[in-house]
Chain A
Amino acid sequence: MNNKILVVGSIIFSLLIAALITRNGDIAWMMLPFLAYLAVGILQTPPLENVRISAGRTLEQRRSNGNAFVDVNLNVQNQALETIHLFIDEIVQAGMKIMDGDLSRWVELRPGESAELKYTFTATRGSFSWNSIRIVVSDPLGLIETEMFLPASGMVQIRPQIRRFKAIPFRPHSTLHSPGSIPARLGGSGTDFFGIREYHPGDSLRWLDWRLTARHPRKYFTKEFEQEEIAEIGLILDARQSTELRVGEESLFEYSLSATASLAEMFLHQGHRVSLFVFGETTLKVFPGYGKVQLHRIMGCLSRAKVGSENRTPVHLDFIPIRMFPSHAMIIIISPLDSTDRSIFRRLRAYGYQAVLVSPDPIDFACPTLAQDTTTRLAIRTARLVRRLRLNDISQLQIPVIDWQISQPLFPLVRNALTRSRGQRE
Chain B
Amino acid sequence: MALRKTFLVVCLVVLLLCLMAGYGFAGQWIGGVIALTSGLAWLPARKYPASWIPHLCLITSVGLAVTGQLTGASPLLMICGSGFALAAWDLILLDGALSTHSVVEQSERYELKHIQSLALALGAGLLVAFLGGMLNLQIPFVVMMLFVALVIFGFDRVWATIKKRSI
Contact = CB atoms under 8 A, between A and B. Distances in A.
B126 A22 contact: no
A26 B75 contact: yes
Interface string A54-85: 00000000000000000000000000000001
Among B94, B116, B121, B163, chain A packs the most CB atoms within 10 A around the CB of: B121
Interface string B98-131: 1001101011011101101110111011101100
A29 B75 contact: yes
Interface string B60-101: 001001100110000100110011001001100110011001
B132 interface: yes
Given A18-B66, A27-B69, A33 B86 contact: yes
B6 interface: no
A349 B163 CA distance: 68
Contacts of B93: 4, 142
Q: Which 9 A-B pairs have the closest CB atoms?
A: A33-B125, A36-B125, A33-B83, A26-B75, A107-B106, A40-B121, A108-B110, A37-B121, A32-B129
B86 A34 contact: yes
B142 interface: no
Contacts of B101: 102, 104-106
A1 B125 contact: no
Interface residues of A, number: 58
Interface in A1-32: 1-5, 7-9, 11-13, 15-16, 18, 20, 22, 24, 26-27, 29-30, 32
Interface string B131-166: 011000000000000001001000100110111011
Contact of A32 (B104, B113, B118, B128): B128
B158 A38 contact: yes
Given A7-B55, A9-B159, A102 B121 contact: no
A2 B166 CA distance: 9
B132 A29 contact: yes
A19 to B, nearest CB: 9
B113 A20 contact: no
Dominant SS at the B interface?
helix
A366 to B, nearest CB: 38
Contacts of A145: 166
B26 interface: no
B35 interface: no
B117 A140 contact: yes
Contacts of B128: 32, 36
A370 interface: no
Contacts of B98: 106
B33 to A, nearest CB: 22
A105 B55 contact: no
A150 to B, nearest CB: 14
Contacts of A113: 106
A85 B165 contact: no
A200 B76 CA distance: 118
A53 interface: no
Contacts of A16: 148, 151
- Among B107, B117, B161, B167, find the residue whose CB has the most chain A CB atoms closer than 10 A: B117
B97 A106 contact: yes
B82 A33 contact: yes
Given A24-B69, A140-B114, 15 more contacts: A2-B166, A5-B162, A5-B166, A7-B55, A26-B79, A27-B70, A29-B133, A30-B62, A33-B129, A47-B165, A105-B101, A105-B102, A115-B106, A141-B117, A143-B162
B133 A26 contact: yes
A353 B94 CA distance: 66
Nearest to B93: A4
B41 interface: no
B121 A108 contact: no
A85 B158 contact: no
Nearest to B89: A7
A36 B82 CA distance: 13
A124 interface: no
Nearest to B52: A3
Nearest to A35: B125
A146 interface: yes
A252 B138 CA distance: 81
A11 B75 contact: no
Contact of A42 (B79, B89, B133, B161): B161
Contacts of B121: 33, 36-37, 39-41, 141
